[in-house]
């Protein structure tokens, strides 16, 4: 059975049962990656357009691989190769893409709300691949899948999310998803990078990284989102790294079986020491591998299982 909704725009919109369905479908699709011939006919005859107007390595590549493994026709449109650079609006670009009858447009944009705007304007399914500081729903889903895979369940687990919470769509989506799945979340970072009133999202706030990471099941480190900063939020990278960078030393108070996550791209030596990123607790590359499975599940549930047409 597919999702009954037309679009995937935000984790905040999803019921826990829908998250469960996506994770279960993704788990069953992981096996395709180990096949000699990585191809199933689930989306044969469907067209997916990846409209990426902001840089991406993991999300764009994994949506492309996901669509191709499901036999969809996948077309990539990037910022520099689109007519947006000639002054066309996002909605006009999208309406022109719609005129070519795709089944799904996957969109990444620097403006919060861009995916919602396209969802209102277009008949085909829209998947939000990251909109400004708002949400990055498939990132949170692949993070949840990775945690569930490693721990066997989600309910009752505790997570510390550390770094630039204020500008992070990954934090916003993960907080929403983790709370819906019965997990407890503590955020930590420089006071200037913790949004006022974040407790209303159901999270605790720790002032020090060492306090946040003590005894949690999962530590999720975030990149400083310089591209979204309109002012100097930290005195220097060196100071940030000293106080909020995850080193082996700072991991001393953490659990022996803690999972260390990062959505990427990692700035080694800033938010995380190389020996932590590459160490035994790190599941960063498992997250990337699970990104393909989650994106296969999302595309299948939106446009395959129920046959949504443009
Ligand atoms: N995590 C993430 O969104 O990575 P990319 O920016 O490379 O897609």
pLDDT truncated to tens, each residue of the chain (310 aa)?
A: 679 999 999 999 999 999 999 999 999 999 999 999 999 999 999 999 999 999 999 999 999 999 999 999 999 999 877 888 888 999 999 999 999 999 999 999 999 999 999 999 999 999 999 999 999 999 999 999 999 999 999 999 999 999 999 999 999 999 999 999 999 999 999 999 999 999 999 999 999 999 999 999 999 999 998 888 777 888 889 999 999 999 999 999 899 999 999 999 999 999 999 999 999 999 999 999 999 999 999 999 999 976 444 3
What backbone phi and psi angles, to 5 degrees, belong to 65? -60, -45
Is residue 184 in contact with ligand 1, taking CB distance under 6 Å?
Answer: no
Residue found by looking up tokens 């129920």 in the block: 306
Residue 268: CA count within 13 A, CB half-sphere = 7
Count of positions (residues) in the chain: 310
- Determine the distance separating the centroid of ligand 1 and the alpha carbon of 109, expressed in angstroms: 12
What is the number of helices (H) and of strands (E) in the chain?
Answer: 10, 9
Please enumerate in sequence order all residues whose Cβ is within 8 A of that of 170, keeping only pairs 6 or more positions apart, or say none.
136, 139, 140, 143, 222, 263
- Atom 1, ligand 1: residue with shortest CA distance: 263
At 309 the pLDDT is: 43
Alpha-carbon gap, residue 139 to 144, rounded angstroms: 9
DSSP 183-252: -EEEEES-GGGS-TTGGGGT-EEESSHHHHHTT-SEEEE----GGG-SS--SS-HHHHHHHHSB-TTGGG
Give the single-character DSSP code of 164: -
CA angle 81, 285, 301 (to 5 degrees): 65
- Determine the distance separating the centroid of ligand 1 and the alpha carbon of 207, expressed in angstroms: 27
Is residue 93 in contact with ligand 1, taking CB distance under 6 Å?
Answer: no
- Determine the distance separating the centroid of ligand 1 and the alpha carbon of 62, expressed in angstroms: 10
Q: What strands lie across the sheet with 158-162, from one edge to the other?
A: 204-206, 184-188, 158-162, 218-221, 259-261
Give the single-character DSSP code of 272: B
Chain segment 191-201, per-residue pLDDT in tens: 999 999 999 99
Probe ligand 1: pick from 50, 53, 55, 57, max atoms within 8 Å of CB? 57
Dihedral sign of CA atoms 42, 147, 185, 243 in order: negative
Alpha-carbon gap, residue 256 to 70, rounded angstroms: 39
Alpha-carbon gap, residue 138 to 25, rounded angstroms: 13
- Determine the distance separating the centroid of ligand 1 and the alpha carbon of 10, expressed in angstroms: 16
Strand, coil or helix: 279: coil
The pTM score is 0.95
Q: Which residues of 42-81 are buried (b: 16+ CB within 10 A; e: fewer)?
A: bbeebbbbbbbbbebebbbbbbbbbbbbbbbebbbbbeee
């Amino acid at each position: 059975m597919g999702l009954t909704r037309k679009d995937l725009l935000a984790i905040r919109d999803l019921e826990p049962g829908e998250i469960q369905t996506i994770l279960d479908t993704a788990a069953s699709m992981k096996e395709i990656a180990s096949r000699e011939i990585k191809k199933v006919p689930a989306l044969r005859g469907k067209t997916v357009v990846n409209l990426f107007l902001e840089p991406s390595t993991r999300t764009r590549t994994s949506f492309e691989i996901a669509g191709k493994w499901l036999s969809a026709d996948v077309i990539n449109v990037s910022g520099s190769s689109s007519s947006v650079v000639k002054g066309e609006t996002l909605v006009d670009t999208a309406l022109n893409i719609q005129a070519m009858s795709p089944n799904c447009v996957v969109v990444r944009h620097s403006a919060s709300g861009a995916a919602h705007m396209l969802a209102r304007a277009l008949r085909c399914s829209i998947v939000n691949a990251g909109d400004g500081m708002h949400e990055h729903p498939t990132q949170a889903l692949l993070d949840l899948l990775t945690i569930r895979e490693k721990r066997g369940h989600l309910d009752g687990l505790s997570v510390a999310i550390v770094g630039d919470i204020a500008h992070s769509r990954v934090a916003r989506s993960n907080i929403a998803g983790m709370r819906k799945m019965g997990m407890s979340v503590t955020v930590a970072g420089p006071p200037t990078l913790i949004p006022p009133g974040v407790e209303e999202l159901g999270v605790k706030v720790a002032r020090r990284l060492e306090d946040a990471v003590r005894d949690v099941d999962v530590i999720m480190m975030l990149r400083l989102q310089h591209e979204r900063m309109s002012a100097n939020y930290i005195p220097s990278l060196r100071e940030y790294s000293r106080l909020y960078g995850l080193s082996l030393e700072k991991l001393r108070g953490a659990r022996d079986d803690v999972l260390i996550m990062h959505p990427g791209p990692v700035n080694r030596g800033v938010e995380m020491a190389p020996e932590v990123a590459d160490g035994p607790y790190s599941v960063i590359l498992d997250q990337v591998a699970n990104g393909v499975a989650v994106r296969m599940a999302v595309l299948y549930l939106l446009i395959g299982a129920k046959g949504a047409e443009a």
